[in-house]
Amino acid sequence: MTIDRRHWPNDAKIAILVTVMFESWSEGKAPPYSPMTTALKPGTVDRLGISWSEYGGKTGIWRFMKILDEMEIKATVCISGKSVELYPEAVRELYKKGHELAGHSYTQDLILPYLTPEEERGVIRRCREIIERAVGFKPVGWFSPVAAPTEHTAEFLVEEGFLWHGDTNDTDLPYPLKTAKGTIVAIPHSDFTDNRVLRGSPRDFYQVYKDTFDFLYRTETKGMINLTVHAHFGGRPLMSAMLAEILRYMKGFPGVWFARHDEIARWVLAGQ
């Protein structure tokens, strides 16, 4: 049987990828951004920033699971290895509910271009092993901290058995990326994640995705939106309200495929 690559499976007009970033930072480190407007002096431990980041594992990820359950949507969760270690109950529950778990470095301040090739390979392998030990299933996807890969990342991922990575932004749709070690699927990252509205209106998040959805649904035969939220910010009520509203809006249309990244990757690979 020939697969029609002009359309998504079942002739869907648009694919919606709900991507959750479930992140942790090194001991004593906080995210480099927050809603707070006054930065502390360099070298000062930002205890409020650390507390803000910990919301994701303690509270935000559970609210996301509730929303996704209500919408009957399976997401891809890009998770720090440290988050797996700190919040094992949440990780097991995500896997039990059918969400995809993907590697996202060990901590978010462990950025790949700052590492030697040997260190980078070790981080990728360590994260794969941490997730596999936690749920008994080997992850097949990867997203680098701050979307910053190196010239080696794709090959290292292929060597470790990964099927996709989300460190590209050069096209609207996923595609097979050939490396010296084999092929991996490149899945474009979001242009507008939830933290873009940190000091603005959460309503902007809803409006951007509604306008994008309406445009693609009206004008393209195969569109895709990577709708990305962070557990430590998007999992808060002010942002979760917008996530629930935009998902409910998109669910109201026929021909919408809510897909996990691994489902997208396997579909791309099947068409080679």
Task: Band the pLDDT of 5: cuts 50, 70, 90.
Answer: low
What average pLDDT score do residues 259-268 get? Answer: 98
What is the percent of the chain where pLDDT is above 70? 98
pLDDT at 168: 94
Residue 4 has pLDDT above 90, yes or no: no
pLDDT confidence band for 2 (50 / 70 / 90): very low
Q: What is the pTM of this model?
A: 0.95
pLDDT at 82: 98
Does residue 58 have a pLDDT over 70?
yes
pLDDT tens-digit series, residues 121-143: 999 999 999 999 999 999 999 99
Q: Is the pLDDT of residue 27 over 60?
A: yes
Q: What is the pLDDT of residues 143-155, one digit of tens each?
A: 999 999 999 999 9
For 78-137, write each residue's pLDDT tens digit: 999 999 999 999 999 999 999 999 999 999 999 999 999 999 999 999 999 999 999 999
Quick one: average pLDDT of 51-64?
A: 97
Structural domains in the chain, sorted by start: 9-27+45-270 (3.20.20.370)
pLDDT tens digits for range 163-177: 999 999 999 999 999
Task: Output the six-digit token pair for 262.
Answer: 């691994």
CB 219 within 8 A of CB 196: no
pLDDT of residue 221: 92
From CA 47, how far away is CA 103, in angstroms rounded? 26
Task: Give residue 32's pLDDT.
Answer: 86
User: Above 50 in pLDDT, residue 10?
Assistant: yes
* Residue 174, pLDDT score: 97
154 vs 5 pLDDT, higher one: 154
Rounded Cα distance, 149 and 111, in Å: 8
User: For residue 60, is pLDDT > 80?
Assistant: yes
Say if residues 160 and 130 touch (Cβ distance below 8 Å): no
CA 112 to chain centre: 17
Q: What's the CA gap between 198 and 8, in Å, rounded?
A: 34
